[in-house]
Chain A
């Protein structure tokens, strides 16, 4: 894991003092709310329906047990004893007081954490593959590149007042577990014909009210020009991105309006110019960072036998563990989706338990998934039973990874001032319905994603089944979408037709799964069947 040196620490410490000063000036009335707003947003502090929300950065979703303990302590000390893990691998607290915010940032800085640029019109926390460094299929560990970009984008003097927020994801595998092409910039670390590593740049993807899949604008940027290329992409956006309408201000609109070819031409011209400006860090810096991401000392002869006598344990193994690059190890997913629960929420006690288990069983490392679960990346197969036993006792043993119960949901109208409808109760009802009927088990991989408004924080465009909450004449109404994917087979979901009320949408989800069960061919996922048979059979079943 990356460790701060004195420079990194000095930067987060300075940021705490800067924010303390800004909050003081706000409370003294020397800053207006309009002036203070972008400053607090760039420190992760949102004003929601009932209170301030603080979003803490977890760079590329990686943290250690000490940091997870600190997050639990913050939940107890400053919030209501829980936190919410987000689709960008961060955590947010929903009940924060402005007066406490600087102290929380100071507590975070003590464990090499921060809330820098987790909101606002700037470059946000860099996200990555939650199985980085563990996945059997990766080209390299993508996190050193993400860390380099974290440093580059932190306090960037030119790109802190962009037209709109800016999200970057870095992966290094043909398998996309980070929704890479649905980011403002998606970077895939690849190797060329002669085996040299480089970066493929995908620019102009995103969800929100105008979902777009990012086109590849350069399939191979040499690694010693990575930062310069990113800088060129951003400068073209900062200069020419629309500022007349915040709903058209994301880079996807610029790339779409200019056309990918013209945007690329402008980036390449800027890139050629910037190559002479010396903005690229020395390659030695990348090597220095890589040193922090070396493999832990895996046992070479780790026992691969698993005793599957307990059927509940066997089910959890089958559903929630993932192949690892080292023999005798797996990555184990801790589901934060208990049936009837709030997707992504964890209590302080659960955070502490996950931290302790990571220390005991996963080389002191945890990951946050964009699907709002937690990963212990490196677990010996021999330790799985002990791990599962401890998780299950704490309500963290739900065997439902990638099933219909593994729902992404935004905070919705329960918390968010932008929402038109509640998301959480719909997620709760759906997981309860499918657990009750026992269909979760038979449906296999089925990614269901719920947003409470068109801003799409719940990724409904990318759901095999998506649900979008809207306001229809003062009543919450839910539209159903089918056929989206955020993975390497990326696609945008299509709306089925007229929406449903809260109970109706639960029935509608069940109806489309029944069509799938009727129509599926051997080994087909819901998404595969939908792609093969198209929308009509689903429409007929829904609207008859």
Chain B
């Protein structure tokens, strides 16, 4: 847990995440791990019992997890959404915009780099799964 960057105030889930298949087979798990090929929409009927969704990035160039994250947030999921695996500091800003609020990278981040990654973008064009006001909304208040 020491290497997890968390942007939430609640207590972290204290048991390991299970696979999507295993999660759907039981009724007591509250943490699940999505692999790139999994369909995040299968989790939507069970959001109320989920406290942690880990989205695995086995390779940083596989961007399916960004869509998985947004789909969960768009459906109203408010628990922890953690990007795990080959997660690079240059991806943090976009991941945050897609709804991730925790990061557990294979390679430890330099915290100065993390700080500049989050401070980098003064504005955003699009509406996404975060709370930022888009340029479009600012132009047409």
Q: Are B121 and A22 in contact (CB under 8 A)?
A: no
Interface residue? B7 (CB, 8 A): no
Q: Are B128 and A158 in contact (CB under 8 A)?
A: yes
A489 to B90, CA, bound (A): 44
Give every chain B residue within 8 A of A544 (Cβ-Cβ): none
Closest CB of chain A to B12's CB: distance in Å? 25
Q: Are B63 and A5 in contact (CB under 8 A)?
A: no
**A5-16 interface mask toward B, CB cutoff 8 Å, 1 = contact, 0 = none?**
101101100100
Most buried by B among A11, A161, A277: A161
Partner of B136, one of A10, A18, A155, A285: A285
Q: Are B62 and A151 in contact (CB under 8 A)?
A: no
On whether A284 and B140 interact (CB within 8 A), knowing A7-B123, A152-B125, A161-B63, the answer reads: yes
Interface residue? A311 (CB, 8 A): no
**A23-36 interface mask toward B, CB cutoff 8 Å, 1 = contact, 0 = none?**
00100001000010
Give every chain B residue within 8 A of A30 (Cβ-Cβ): 110
Give every chain A residue within 8 A of B61 (Cβ-Cβ): 38, 121, 161
Give every chain B residue within 8 A of A8 (Cβ-Cβ): 135
A to B contact number (C-beta, < 8 Å): 99
In the complex formed, the residue of B with least CB distance to A238 is B67
Q: Are A157 and B97 in contact (CB under 8 A)?
A: yes
How many of chain B's residues have a CB under 8 angstroms from any CB in A? Answer: 38
Q: Are A273 and B122 in contact (CB under 8 A)?
A: no
Give every chain A residue within 8 A of B66 (Cβ-Cβ): 157-161, 238
Interface residue? B6 (CB, 8 A): no
Give every chain B residue within 8 A of A121 (Cβ-Cβ): 61, 63
A235 to B69, CA, bound (A): 12
Closest CB of chain A to B74's CB: distance in Å? 6
Give every chain A residue within 8 A of B91 (Cβ-Cβ): 161
On whether A288 and B139 interact (CB within 8 A), knowing A35-B88, A155-B121, A161-B61, the answer reads: yes
Give every chain A residue within 8 A of B97 (Cβ-Cβ): 157
A198 to B138, CA, bound (A): 26
How many A residues are at the interface, by size bracket? 35 or more
Q: Are A5 and B139 in contact (CB under 8 A)?
A: yes
In the complex formed, the residue of B with least CB distance to A5 is B139
Interface residue? A97 (CB, 8 A): no
Q: Are B120 and A18 in contact (CB under 8 A)?
A: yes
Interface residue? B22 (CB, 8 A): no
A7 to B67, CA, bound (A): 26
A157 to B92, CA, bound (A): 10
In the complex formed, the residue of B with least CB distance to A287 is B140
In the complex formed, the residue of B with least CB distance to A243 is B62
**B87-123 interface mask toward A, CB cutoff 8 Å, 1 = contact, 0 = none?**
0101101110110000000000010010010001111
A21 to B113, CA, bound (A): 9
A11 to B134, CA, bound (A): 12
Closest CB of chain B to A438's CB: distance in Å? 53
Most buried by A among B61, B62, B110, B120: B61
Interface residue? A307 (CB, 8 A): no
Q: Are B128 and A157 in contact (CB under 8 A)?
A: yes
Closest CB of chain A to B119's CB: distance in Å? 10
Q: Are A160 and B63 in contact (CB under 8 A)?
A: yes
On whether A282 and B67 interact (CB within 8 A), knowing A11-B125, A35-B88, A156-B126, the answer reads: no
On whether A279 and B126 interact (CB within 8 A), knowing A18-B120, A243-B36, the answer reads: yes
Give every chain B residue within 8 A of A235 (Cβ-Cβ): 67
Interface residue? A259 (CB, 8 A): no
In the complex formed, the residue of A with least CB distance to B36 is A243
Closest CB of chain B to A33's CB: distance in Å? 13
On whether A277 and B74 interact (CB within 8 A), knowing A161-B61, A282-B136, the answer reads: yes
A157 to B134, CA, bound (A): 13
A257 to B94, CA, bound (A): 30
Q: Are B135 and A158 in contact (CB under 8 A)?
A: no
Give every chain B residue within 8 A of A155 (Cβ-Cβ): 94, 121, 124-125
A235 to B138, CA, bound (A): 25
Q: Are A151 and B125 in contact (CB under 8 A)?
A: yes
Interface residue? B127 (CB, 8 A): yes
Interface residue? B70 (CB, 8 A): yes
Q: Are A7 and B70 in contact (CB under 8 A)?
A: no
Give every chain B residue within 8 A of A151 (Cβ-Cβ): 125, 135-136
On whether A21 and B139 interact (CB within 8 A), knowing A155-B125, A157-B128, the answer reads: no
A366 to B63, CA, bound (A): 37
Interface residue? A154 (CB, 8 A): yes
Q: Are A158 and B98 in contact (CB under 8 A)?
A: yes
Q: Are A162 and B135 in contact (CB under 8 A)?
A: no
Chain B residues at the A interface, C-beta cutoff of 8 Å: 36, 60-64, 66-68, 70, 74, 88, 90-91, 93-95, 97-98, 110, 113, 116, 120-128, 134-140
Can you list 11 A-B pairs with a CB-CB distance of less than 8 A?
A14-B121, A18-B120, A30-B110, A39-B90, A157-B66, A157-B97, A158-B63, A158-B128, A161-B60, A161-B62, A282-B136
Beyond A30-B110, A154-B125, A277-B74, 19 extra complex contacts between A and B, CB < 8 Å: A7-B135, A11-B123, A35-B88, A38-B61, A39-B90, A155-B94, A155-B124, A156-B126, A157-B93, A157-B94, A158-B66, A159-B66, A161-B91, A243-B36, A243-B64, A281-B136, A284-B140, A285-B136, A288-B140
Closest 4 CB pairs of A and B: A161-B63, A157-B97, A157-B94, A281-B136
